[in-house]
Amino acid sequence: MKLVTKLLSAAALLTASATAMAHPGHTEGGFTSGLLHPMLGLDHLLAMAAIGFWSVRQSKLMKNATPAFVIGGMVFGAALAWGGLSLPGVETGITFSVLVAGILIATLAKLSTAVGGTLVGAFMLFHGFAHGAEMPEGATLAAYLAGFSIATLAITLVGRGLGILMMKADSRFSRGIGGVVAVAGGYLAAA
């Protein structure tokens, strides 16, 4: 149980250090900016980690496909932004993704791969659009894309790792984590 406590403490410190949303400008260059962008916003961190956490209790196909749905949605959303298209309600979509991911965890919801994959892809579309729209001027598109893809995948896999650890514990812990994520999503939506 000490390992779970340490992981939860590390996750809390990581999210607490990121209370400034991921939306200020970055001046580090393409790859570094892309790498940091998902990690510097509580909304992005919570959504990606929560989706990874939730995926652990899904069917084998959904669990294995979740990283592809996450990256696919992110890249497609960023491509929309880079193509000059608009996407209404981006911030609402981002905060809604945190709220719903928390609810999915708290209720131990299992979704079919078609429904779950569509939901994850749609959530990440909003996150990807925000990342794409906030690419620093002068950054190389490929480097920025590589950076935020790596960070996104890493956050999702950390969430999955925590979910795997929590599978061995009482399901009330998972439900509690989901409740906290949902409350955070509600707070972000209200802020």
pLDDT tens, 11-49? Answer: 444 444 343 334 444 445 689 988 998 888 899 999 999
Question: Does residue 13 form part of some domain?
Answer: no
Query: What angle do the packed helices 113-133 and 141-167 form, to 10 degrees?
Result: 140
Average pLDDT of the chain to the nearest whole number: 87
**Residue 67: inside a domain, yes or no?**
yes
Total count of domains within the chain: 1
> 84: domain range?
29-189
pLDDT per residue as tens digits for the range 109-164: 999 999 999 999 999 999 999 999 999 988 999 999 999 999 999 999 999 999 99
Model pLDDT, residue 39 = 86
Q: What is the pLDDT of residue 37?
A: 85
Output the pLDDT for position 14: 42
CA distance 125 to 152: 13
Locus of tokens 């393409």: 30
Determine, yes or no, domain membership for 112.
Answer: yes
| pLDDT number for residue 38 | 85
| Pair of tokens at residue 33 | 């900016």
Task: Convert 159-169 to b/e letters by CB count within 10 Å (16 or more is b).
Answer: bbebbebbeee
Nearest to residue 96, comparing CAs of 127, 68, 118, 132? 127
User: What pLDDT does residue 82 have?
Assistant: 95
Q: Is the pTM of this model over 0.85?
A: no
Is 152 inside any structural domain? yes
Report residue 119 as tokens. 């939901």
Q: Is residue 6 part of a domain?
A: no
